[in-house]
Amino acid sequence: MKRAKRSVSIFLVLLTLAAWAAVFSVAQSDTEPSDGTAVEAALDTAPSDAEETTAAPKTAKPSESKPDKSKKQKASVELTASSVEVTVRKTIQMTAEPKGFDGTPKVVWNSSDESVAAVDQTGKVTGVKAGRATITATATCGETTASGNMVIFVEKSKTPAKLLLQKFQVLGYKYSFKDDYYYVNDVKCWQQGFGFGRFYDLVAPYILLEYDYVRVFFTYENKDYMIQLWKGQYGLIFYGCEQGIYYKAHSDKEDGIFTFYKAMDQSEWPQMKMTLYHDKQRDGNFTREFTRDFSTHWWCSGFKPGHLKVEEPANELRQEGTIVFKSAEMAKYFADGLKICGFGEAKDEKSIGLDEYYLNGSTVSFLWQEINDAETTMPIKIAGGTAFAAGTLAFFVGLLVLLAIFAMMGMGIVFLIILL
C-alpha cells in the first residue's frame, strides 16, 4: 500500500511540474512552440532516448594487440559476469581468469561500495541498494600482482509503474532503474519549445520549487548563450539537479525579467555528463546519488525521491559536471563565465575542488556546491506527513490550469482522452 501511494505521489508530482512549466510559458512572447508540440510529446509512445549510451560490457577484455611470443606475457585478470545488472537482494556470478602468471595465483574479490553491491570470495555479487559499484578481482602469485574490474549496476525491483516510465515517457519524464532516479528525456520533450528565462526562477519558490542556480553568460559566433545550473528541492517529493544550454540572437540590450533564451538546436548539442552527491546527514559525508553518463544534451536533468533537511541554500547537494563544446574557443568563454560567477580554476582535472573548474581544450569540468545566484525567498515548508495530500492538491490545481491552456490552444479534448 505504501509503495502504491508513493508511486501515485511521484506520478502526480511529475504531472504537476509539467503543468506549471506550461503555465510559465504563457509569459514569454517570442519563443512559442510550433503548433502541436505538447501533444506530440505526450502521444509519443516510443521516443528515442539518449539516457543510457554508456553501457558497461559483460566482458572486460584485455588489449587486442598480439603478444610478442619472444617476451613473457604480462600478468592480467579478465573478468566476466552473467550480467552487469542485479536487482536488490538478488545475485549474479562473476568469474576471474588470471593470465601471464607462472603458477596458480590467489584471487581476492572486493567491492568499491559494499552498501550498494557486496561480493564474496567466490565472485558472487549481491545487490544491496540501488546504485553502481566497481567489483575488483586481484590475483597474486609470488611477487606478481594484477587486477581487473567491472562496474555493476544494482537496480530496485521492477514495479509496473516504473517499467512504464522506463519504456515510455509521461509529459517528457522517464525513469532509470540504474541509480533509481527520474529525468527528462530531452531528445523528445515538449519543454524544449519554451526555452528559459529569469522569470521562471523568480516564480519557482512560490510553487514549491526551492533550488540554487548559477547562470553563465557569454557571446559566441554572434549568439548570446546562457548555461544554467540548478540543484535543490523540486516540490515536496523530489530533489535533484540540472544543467542546460540556451541561446538567443546577439543583443547589446541588458536582459530583463521577461528575456527568454531558446533551447539549443539539436545539431549543436554538446556532450554532457552530470553526477549528484548528497550529504544526507549533513556531517560532511557526501554519497553519490546518480550519474547521467556522457551523451548529447541541451538539458541534462535528474531527480531523486526525497526531501532535503535544509532547502535554502541547498548546500547538502553537490553537483559534478562536464561539458564538451564544439570548439576550444567556446569552452574558454564558458570557463571565463564560471570565473565571473565566482568559480576558481583548478590545476588539473583530478584536483578540482569545491566551486572550481578545469579547462582542457574543448572540455570544461566543474564541481559546484555553494555559489548561488538565486534571490533570497521564503521557502514554503510542509511536514512530511502532509506531503501526499498537498501533492495531490497541487496536482489538481495545476491540472486545471493546464487544461485551460490546452483548451485555448484547441487541445483540451485530446489531453483528456490521453488521461482517460
Which amino acid belongs to residue 381? K
Task: Give the C-alpha distances (Å, rounded to integers) separating 182 from 104, 168, 173, 191.
Answer: 46, 12, 7, 16
Q: Are residues 132 and 268 in the same domain?
A: no
Show the domain range for 120: 59-155
pLDDT value at residue 205:
86
Q: Are residues 125 and 242 in the same domain?
A: no
> pTM of whole model > 0.85?
no
Interatomic CA distance for residues 39 and 412, integer angstroms: 10
Task: Give the C-alpha distances (Å, rounded to integers) separating 183 from 47, 177, 210, 239.
Answer: 14, 11, 18, 11
85-87 and 144-155 strand pairing: parallel
Is 100 contained in some domain? yes
Q: Are residues 278 and 143 in the same domain?
A: no
Is 54 contained in some domain? no
In which residue are the cell numbers 504531472 written?
15
Q: Are residues 130 and 178 in the same domain?
A: no
Q: Which string of DSSP letters, residue by residue, matches 16-60?
A: HHHHHHHHHHTT-SS-PPPTTHHHHHHH-SS----TT-----SEE
Q: Are residues 92 and 180 in the same domain?
A: no
- In tens digits, the chain (420 residues) has pLDDT values of 445 445 545 554 455 555 444 434 333 333 333 333 332 333 233 333 444 444 444 444 444 445 455 566 799 999 999 889 999 999 999 999 999 998 899 999 999 999 999 999 999 999 999 889 999 999 999 999 999 999 999 988 888 877 777 777 777 788 998 899 999 989 878 888 888 999 999 888 888 899 999 999 999 999 999 999 999 999 888 999 999 999 999 999 999 999 999 999 899 999 999 999 999 999 999 999 999 999 999 999 999 999 999 988 999 999 999 999 999 999 999 999 999 999 999 999 999 999 999 999 999 999 999 999 886 544 444 444 444 444 554 555 455 444 444 433 333 333 332 333
Is 135 contained in some domain? yes
Q: Are residues 129 and 213 in the same domain?
A: no
Count of domains observed in the chain:
2
Q: Are residues 148 and 183 in the same domain?
A: no
Last residue of a domain, one of 97, 129, 155: 155
